[in-house]
Amino acid sequence: MSVFEFKLPDIGEGVVEGELVSWLVDEGEAVQEDTPLFEVLTDKVSAVIPSPKQGKVTKRFFEEGDIVPVGGVVLTIAVSGGDGAAAPAPAPVESAPAAPAQAASAPAAAAPVAPVVAAITPPVAPSGKRVRATPATRKLARTLGVDITAIEGTGEHGRVTKEDVQRWAHGVAKTKPAAPSAPLGAAAEDEVRKLKGMRRKISETMRMSKDTAAHFTYVDEVDFTAIVELKNALRTAGLKATFLPFVMKAVCSVLKREEFEYLNAHVDYAKGEIVVKRSYHLGIAAATDAGLMVPVVFNVDRKNMRSLVDELNALGEGARTNKLSLGQLSGSTFTITSLGKLGGMFATPIINPPETAILGLHKIEKRPVVIDGEIVIRDRMYMSCSFDHRLIDGHVGAAFVQAVKDLLESPALLLAELS
């Protein structure tokens, strides 16, 4: 009988650590080769890690929600005979994408629960100073124009956290806050849960977006009566389309106009660069049980209505079952988010960085309006669009929404744009 030390494998280029989201085995449990051991979430991917050995789990060294360094011992397995020395772990057998990964901010580090974890030598900065920080934290520092080597980390073992970068960027004294003895306001009958997994990733992404982009939102009401009639005609012809493909086509058509090219762009203020995209890849925000995902429909301008309907259905099913690949969740140039039947009047969508704008769709309902001096009933919807005011001027954002509105209210114009 020997003991095998299972170390967190390298599961992605540039990934130096991951969050242990959930344990799939208990101490004392027998495992076979390829038995799923635990789920880990990194800045780029969520993966279920399998066992490389047959034996019995003797000890787990991390709790759910802890940050595990690549190469750190996650658990030990008692195996019969053979060499118990640690060996390279296999690639994960199952992977699913994390929340919008291309701009997710890194979580603060948590301490391992046992001292046997192998230490990782942090990358060396150009100045020669070694800095412990996740790739997403480094990206936030670049975005805010902060020299990460000048920051004194307040995380475990001197790690530079997202909060350290933000405090430095705003000139706030960098002192490690004292940990409260109990959660604020928690009573004896309350249930305290750890913020972890995709929900923590979403939290970090939204916070980074609000910290780095100067949001402003423009709202207008759109008459969808003509689109409703066209959609019903297509449904009669056998194409069960929602309203979304029409909006996608209208948005794509307007983004192609020179005056709106900065709305289909990625921006890096730390480098002082704007990448104007000449491809039109629309992220479609989708609510799932695990949280918000943003699958991407690539080259929307080159696809017909039937292709868009089929692809949206496939992406929606993949998001609900957590079976989308990383490639399907990154690379968007503009994002559309919809609350559907729960859409209310309007909201303030949060930009999906490094993009510069996001369009929010709300509930379509029949409302009385005055047309040519008469009160008539029309299908109407509020449409709200948020922009990064550092790059998009107010009149440009308003003009964009108006242009999309014009195409949706007159489908003949939309068809002319697409021909």
Residues 265, 383: Cα–Cα separation, whole Å: 21
DSSP secondary-structure letter at 130? B
Catalytic residue among 170, 281, 389, 395: 389
Going by C-alpha positions, the residue among 27, 11, 136, 26 that lies closest to residue 69 is 11
Residue by residue, DSSP assigns 90-129 as PPPSEEEE-SSGGGPPPPPP---SSTTSPP--PPBPTTS-
Going by C-alpha positions, the residue among 300, 302, 249 that lies closest to residue 411 is 249
Residues 45, 214: Cα–Cα separation, whole Å: 28
263 contacts 357 by C-beta, under 8 angstroms: yes
Chain centre distance of CA 383: 22
Write the CB contacts of 268 (distance below 8 Å, at least 6 apart in sequence).
142, 143, 274, 275, 354
Residue by residue, DSSP assigns 252-300 as HHHHTSGGGGGGSEEEETTTTEEEE-SS--EEEEEEETTEEE--EE--G
Q: Is 389 a catalytic residue?
A: yes
Q: What is the chain's Cα-based Rg?
A: 25
CA distances from 285 to 63, 129, 131, 359, 384 (A): 31, 40, 35, 10, 14
Q: Which residues are catalytic?
A: 389
